[in-house]
Amino acid sequence: MSFFLFPGQGSQTPGMGQDFYESSPAARGILERAAALAPVGFLGAIFHGTPEQLKDTRLAQTALLAVEVAVAQHLEAAGCRPAGCAGHSLGEFSALVAAGAAAFEPVFRLADVRARLMAENVPEGGMAAVIGLPPSDIEAALPADVQVANYNGPQQTIISGGLAGLEEAERRLKEAGARRLIRLAVSGPFHSVLMAKAASRFRDELDKMELKPPRIRYISSVSAEEVRDPDEIRRLLGEQMLSPVRWTDVMGRIGPVPAVEVGPGRVLQGLAKRMDGAPAVELAGTVEAANALLALG
């Protein structure tokens, strides 16, 4: 049994999921259920759209959710049942479904609402990757209006905040010895308190969704703790837009079990390779990769 890890926004690529749709009845079923809830042309936009089209937040978030759950269904139908689940930011919603804590359709609708609220309530700001400086040194250097958004590893941390605050943070971090600072191509200061308006409205929608105790291990990316109580899952999901993704701690919490990146790309595999003691992460973003994983037993 492997631990299922679900990547977040930014991992989407044109054509993702098409090979599963064409060859896996289990995956096709999920993608068709998603298409029934989405605007006309949803699957065509995923399979044949341009990278620019897939940057649209509403399409990107719902498309990633659908493809990730479809891949998980393909793996489970072939006998690869997860030992547990965790997701990086948006990927946490795919993890909810795979862990049996929520049904696919309401989670899909919730992801669409999340994307819309994030698009409609984005304050001025941005994010930057800080390379080559320990998280504790980064935290000590940040001005009050900038915060850590992603703890991605011992040498990669993402910060988020207003534009003026980011400029000051970058100046301080260079002085502190950061090797590289990379401003990210995002539309706002995600995973920061500046997203409070969107988060408040999102909680109103989240309160309407039924949640159940997960049937397997489920690790929150907000607390980096295993969570079983539905009310606690709901509370943590409601804090997600405002809180850092504690991915380093999530990977440490998994324990000595094999893991698989359930979705397109290899972002989570790359992060794991840079963490001491993290489990090895296999890929399952294509039918070929998934079936090679299944052949290992």
> Is pLDDT above 80 for 297?
no
Confidence of residue 193 (pLDDT cuts 50, 70, 90): very high
- Both 138 and 254 in one domain: the answer is no
Same domain, 263 and 168: no
CATH of the domain at 272: 3.40.366.10
Same domain, 197 and 279: yes
Same domain? 87 vs 165: no
CATH number of the domain encompassing residue 177: 3.30.70.250
Query: Does one domain contain both 111 and 131?
Result: no
Answer yes or no: do 228 and 137 share one domain: no
75 neighbors 260 (Cβ within 8 angstroms): yes
Q: Read off the pLDDT of residues 197-223 as tens digits, 9 standing for 90 and up.
A: 999 999 999 999 999 999 999 999 999
Same domain, 97 and 179: no
Residues 279 and 166 in one domain: no
Q: Whose structure tokens read 């990977």?
A: 251
pLDDT tens, residue by residue, 134-168 = 999 999 999 999 999 999 999 999 999 999 999 99
How far is 157 from 134, CA to CA, in rounded Å? 8
Domain span including residue 279: 2-121+192-295
Domain end residue (candidates: 139, 162, 183): 183
Rounded to whole angstroms, how far apart are CA atoms 175 and 169?
10
- Please, which residues have CB within 8 angstroms of residue 199's CB and are 6 or more apart in sequence? 238, 239, 240, 241, 242
Average pLDDT, the chain: 96
For residues 171 and 200, state if they share a domain: no
Catalytic residue among 11, 24, 89, 94: 89
Does the active-site annotation cover 187? no
Active-site residue (options: 74, 191, 192, 221): 191
Domain count, the chain: 2
Q: Is 74 an annotated catalytic residue?
A: no
* Claim to verify: residue 103 and residue 171 sit in the same structural domain: no
Two tokens, residue 297: 């037993």
Among 11, 5, 160, which Cα is nearest to 92's?
A: 5
Signed CA dihedral, 237, 243, 247, 252: sign only: negative
Rounded CA-CA distance 276/162 in Å is 33
Assess whether pLDDT exceeds 80 at residue 253.
yes
Judgement on whether residues 107 and 215 belong to the same structural domain of the protein: yes
**In a shared domain, residues 112 and 239:** yes
> What would the pLDDT profile of 93-133 be if each residue is shown by its tens digit?
999 999 999 999 999 999 999 999 999 998 999 999 999 99
